[in-house]
C-alpha cells in the first residue's frame, strides 16, 4: 500500500452552515466546496489546510452513516483518510493483511474520488478511508 499523504480528516457535524461559519470566521479558513453525496446520505464542505483537507459531514437522513454516527457518538472527528495510488488495490492489500473491510471495492465519494473504508475494529478504533483519483 503506497500512502502519499493524509487526504483529509472527516468531521461529523450537526449543522453544516453553522460549522462552516466557525471554520471561516474563527479559524480564518475558506470553504472551497459544498457537495451532496446522495448515496451516502451526506452533505460535505471542504477546507484546505496546507496539503490536507478538512471535510465537514452533515447527514441528510437520520438513517445515513453520519446520522447514525452522531446519534451514537455525537459530533466530532469521524474518520482519517489517506491518499493511495489505487483504492481497490489498497483495500485488497489491507484485507490480505487481515484487516476487516467495510468496502470490498471502492465507490465514488465526494470530489469524485474513489473511496473505501477499513473497519475501525481492525484499525485500533480509527475509521480509516483510502482515497484515489484513478478513473
Count the Cβ atoms, other than its own, within 10 Å of residue 103.
Answer: 16
Q: What is the overall mean pLDDT for the chain?
A: 95
Please report, for the domain that includes residue 109, its CATH number. Answer: 3.10.180.10
Percentage of residues of the chain with pLDDT beyond 70: 99
Domain count, the chain: 1
**Which residue ranges in the chain fall short of pLDDT 70?**
135
The three three-digit cell numbers of residue 119, written as one number: 473497519
pTM value is: 0.91
β-sheet bridge partners, residue 96: none
Q: Are 50 and 5 in contact (CB under 8 A)?
A: no
Quote the domain boundaries for residue 117: 3-132
Q: Cα separation of 41 and 61, whole Å?
A: 6
pLDDT tens digits, one per residue of 74-92: 999 999 999 999 999 999 9
Q: Are 77 and 126 in contact (CB under 8 A)?
A: no
Amino acid at each position: 500500500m503506497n500512502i502519499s499523504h493524509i487526504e483529509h480528516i472527516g468531521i461529523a457535524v450537526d449543522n453544516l452552515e453553522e460549522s462552516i461559519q466557525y471554520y471561516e470566521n474563527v479559524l480564518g479558513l475558506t470553504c472551497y466546496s459544498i457537495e451532496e453525496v446522495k448515496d451516502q446520505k451526506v452533505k460535505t464542505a471542504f477546507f484546505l489546510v496546507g496539503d490536507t483537507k478538512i471535510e465537514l459531514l452533515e447527514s441528510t437522513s437520520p438513517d445515513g452513516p453520519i446520522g447514525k454516527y452522531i446519534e451514537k457518538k455525537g459530533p466530532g472527528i469521524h474518520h482519517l483518510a489517506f491518499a493511495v495510488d489505487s483504492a481497490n488495490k489498497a483495500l485488497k492489500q489491507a484485507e490480505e493483511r487481515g484487516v476487516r473491510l467495510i468496502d470490498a471495492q471502492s465507490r465514488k465519494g465526494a470530489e469524485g474520488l474513489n473511496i473505501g473504508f477499513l473497519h475501525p475494529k481492525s484499525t485500533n478504533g480509527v475509521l480509516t478511508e483510502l482515497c484515489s483519483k484513478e478513473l
